[in-house]
Structure 1
Amino acid sequence: MSGLKGWKLVCAGLALSSLLLAGCATVDEASPQQGGGSGGGSQGAAQRINGAGASFPAPFYSAVFQRFAQEEGIEVNYQSIGSSGGREQFIQKTVAFGASDEPMSEEEMREAGGNPLHIATVGGAVVPVYNIEGVDSGLNFTGRVLADIYLGNITRWNDPAIAELNPGVELPDAKIAVVHRSDGSGTTNIWTSYLAAVSPEWKSGPGAGGEIKWPTGIGGDGNEGVAGLVKQTPNSIGYVGLEYAVQNELAYGDVGEEGAFVRPSVESARAAIAAAGDEIPEDLRFTISSANPQGEGVYPITGLTWILVRQQMDDPAQCRAVAQAAWYLTHEGQSLAPDLNYVPLPENIVSRDEELIRSMEAGGEKCYAG
């Protein structure tokens, strides 16, 4: 994960359980940037901006914003606090942009004002991770089995429903320790949207969303918190972004229907985004996993993540900096995605992002000059 080297130069508020040293200095969001820069023109842009939200894309944002600061001279202080917190801070205008893996609701859009836009930045897989002594990566799960585990219907690892999917694997007669998010989470939205799509009992019970009433289990804060709990809890299962499973060396399972299990990867998540392409609306507010995309090599528990910006902003300098950061994320930054276990955006989504970024205005002027 070489793209994470030096990430503390950008912001120590980005949290990975194995890397984090927390704390970011307060910055002046509207300090004017002196000098030029390539791309959208950093001249006249704020020198520093604050953002907060989703932990799912935090490793990607860390790497991209570090390079963005080096190349464009604009520092981005990003706090990995979860999607719900990111939407709330965006609504309260305590950050220049929010970040979420769960689309804003209509009510949140109204509360935020300024015609909020969802700029898709990257895609990725959410994977079932587990910690079972003697069982390596590669367990098979169907969506209904995962739902039944999280509903509390399946409580032991050697339950016939799991054993039948994994012939030849010695599963222990041990109670399953279920781990979920304790905070409002876009990763949870991707996970529960899939469970609701494949399990009628889940759909009519806990349902889909970033904040639900969990039937069972213990909670961890952020992807990093869930990864840490699974790593330290014997016989546990949880869900995190693929990048967190890899970074924390956690075993993770394949998902699908019996006889057609798909390994989570950049390629299989990319295939899921492509499979759901016709269902993605113009405003990009769509949870891929809710469609349960199918096909050969398609990993269904996949989602997009967004930064949240206002089409109409008050501060021209801040608007220029946000627009330029958004452009960099969706263009130059995409080259960093695969090595960090994220999916680069397909061309049709990048094209829509470009239209949205170019629509941003402040003081009657366009914010992106490219």
Structure 2
Amino acid sequence: MDTKRSNERASGTDSSEAISSSKLRNLLKIGTHGTAMPLYLRAQIFTSICLPIAAIALLCGLLTNIDESSNRNFQIQVPHLYVNGTGSSMMANTYWRSLAMFSTYLTNQKASYIVDSKYISTSSGVGKSDFSNGYSLYAATDSDVSKADLQYYLPDNNPQKTNISLYTSPKTYPHLGSIMIPTIAGAMGIVYNIQGFPEGASLILNGSVLGDIFCGAISWWNDTAIQQLNPSIVMPSKMIKGTGRGDSSGSTQIFTTYLAAHSTQFANRIGISSQPKWPSSFVLGNSAVELITFLHRLSIPSHIYQWKQSCKQSIGQDPQVAILLNSNGTKTTPTTESVTQAMQKVAADTEFSRHNFLTILDVNDPIAYPIALMSFVLLRENYFWFTPGSETDCQRVKALVYFWYYFLTTQAL
């Protein structure tokens, strides 16, 4: 052992650069633009950085006891690539299933790496915030980006090379060309649980009555407007108790957009928002599954809630879903066929763009379900978040692109 190595070991250092405690504290506290990093992301980074460091220290201690003269074969470890995203809770189950299938696919293809995929179901609002602050490689959202963020989408009609600096702010340098891609279509249904409602019957609503209910203008199930839509049923004299999302949600913004378009009362009292101020009598929750579970455990079941189609699979229950009259006056429910019809009607006349936000809400079609919506993924044309020249960071981005190629081209998903 040479003198330099001996001195390094004696002083407790090594020739490679160490991660100081101050650097680690800064990493855990500060995001790309000096913003506080969310707690759940700090935990991920602590697990990803501190635990491997401890494992390396333990391994070094074990290796000192190995006879270097012995002829042993050590298995080369396959590199792990961390690919993370946050956002929409509506389509979380689909993304989780797709990531698991992608991992199996890579194993079957004998890939030279393993993708450590992590998608955290937060909300569309949190997902977009994480993405813009550089905490994630991608984000999933059910709503559009803000008007201010549109400046980060490069023009589609310019065949010449573009000077990216013309379209980005010096204070937000990582935004080097965002891309918004539609991934999944879904539907938002109306779940109800009414004491005294005839078994086997279906509640019928329209956009106007639904908006009045969700702003508190209609508060009883036997209100004249509801009774007229359900002439064959004697509606019970029970007070309506609503539930809604309390966090920032892209699907909630779509829902309030629909209600505001059909109910003047809702537009004036609540308005369009991803985090509306619901009536004080509403029960609030931070996920669809949480609210649906609450709905089924009520001792006095007279609630109504904005329900997402994936909740049935999420909680293993088959909730009662209202029939909703669309703009053509047709009775519709949130089914694959009614959502597909809405999507095909819009997609047929849509050209590709970097900011490819599609709305399939309230499509004028006899079959289409009115509260249908798309979920999107946010990516970048250029990823310059990482250490220049880092081969691992480069491979992470390649793995990210490979996953979304797999997602968008595999029919089994």
Flag whether TM exceeds 0.5 (same fold).
Answer: yes
Give, in whole Å, the separation in 2 of the partners of 1:146 and 1:245: 22
Equivalent position of 1:125 in the other structure: 187
Of 87, 91, 107, the residue aligned with 2:128 is 87
- Of structures 1 and 2, the larger Rg is shown by 2
> CA 1:71 to 1:218, structure 2 compared with 1: closer, same or farther past 3 Å?
same
Equivalent position of 1:176 in the other structure: 240
1:102 Cα deviation from its structure 2 partner? 0.8
> CA 1:260 to 1:54, structure 2 compared with 1: closer, same or farther past 3 Å?
same
Give, in whole Å, the separation in 2 of the partners of 1:137 and 1:319: 52
Equivalent position of 2:91 in the other structure: 57
Q: Does structure 1 residue 236 correspond to structure 2 residue 277? A: no
Q: Does structure 1 residue 218 correspond to structure 2 residue 283? A: yes
Contact 1:125 1:242 in 2 (8 A): yes
- Look up the equivalent residue of 2:131 and give its one-letter code: F
Equivalent position of 2:323 in the other structure: 254
Tell me the alpha carbon deviations over residues 284-339 of structure 1, each in whole angstroms, 9 at most, x when there is no partner.
Answer: 213321xx21222110101110111111102422221221121122221x533xxx
List alignment gaps of at least 5 residues for structure 2.
Answer: 1-39, 53-77, 107-113, 153-171, 385-392
Give, in whole Å, the separation in 2 of the partners of 1:145 and 1:264: 18
Secondary structure at the aligned position of 2:208 is classed as helix
Within 5 Å, give how 1:166-205 maps onto structure 2: 166-205=230-269
In the alignment of these two chains, the number of paired residues is 299
Let me know the Cα RMSD of the aligned residues. 2.8
Give, in whole Å, the separation in 2 of the partners of 1:64 and 1:316: 22
Identity score, percent: 26
Equivalent position of 1:35 in the other structure: none
Greater alpha carbon shift after TM alignment, 243-252 vs 185-194: 243-252
- Look up the equivalent residue of 2:184 and give its one-letter code: V
Give, in whole Å, the separation in 2 of the partners of 1:166 and 1:218: 26
Q: Does structure 1 residue 284 correspond to structure 2 residue 362? A: no
1:245 Cα deviation from its structure 2 partner? 3.9
Equivalent position of 1:298 in the other structure: 368
1:147 Cα deviation from its structure 2 partner? 0.1
Give, in whole Å, the separation in 2 of the partners of 1:114 and 1:28: 27
> CA 1:45 to 1:129, structure 2 compared with 1: closer, same or farther past 3 Å?
farther
Tell me the alpha carbon deviations over residues 185-217 of structure 1, each in whole angstroms, 9 at most, x when there is no partner.
Answer: 012022112112222333344222322222452
1:67 Cα deviation from its structure 2 partner? 0.4
Q: Does structure 1 residue 206 correspond to structure 2 residue 273? A: no
**What is the TM-score when the length of structure 1 is the normalising length?**
0.73
Secondary structure at the aligned position of 1:276 is classed as helix
1:259 Cα deviation from its structure 2 partner? 5.0
Equivalent position of 1:66 in the other structure: 100
Equivalent position of 1:335 in the other structure: 412
1:137 Cα deviation from its structure 2 partner? 6.7
- Look up the equivalent residue of 2:323 and give its one-letter code: D
Equivalent position of 2:146 in the other structure: 105
Contact 1:131 1:236 in 2 (8 A): yes
Contact 1:28 1:49 in 2 (8 A): no
Q: Does structure 1 residue 270 correspond to structure 2 residue 334? A: no
Equivalent position of 2:30 in the other structure: none
- Look up the equivalent residue of 2:291 and give its one-letter code: V
Greater alpha carbon shift after TM alignment, 249-258 vs 307-316: 249-258
> CA 1:113 to 1:137, structure 2 compared with 1: closer, same or farther past 3 Å?
farther
Secondary structure at the aligned position of 1:226 is classed as helix
Greater alpha carbon shift after TM alignment, 108-117 vs 299-308: 108-117
Contact 2:189 2:333 in 1 (8 A): no
Contact 1:128 1:240 in 2 (8 A): yes
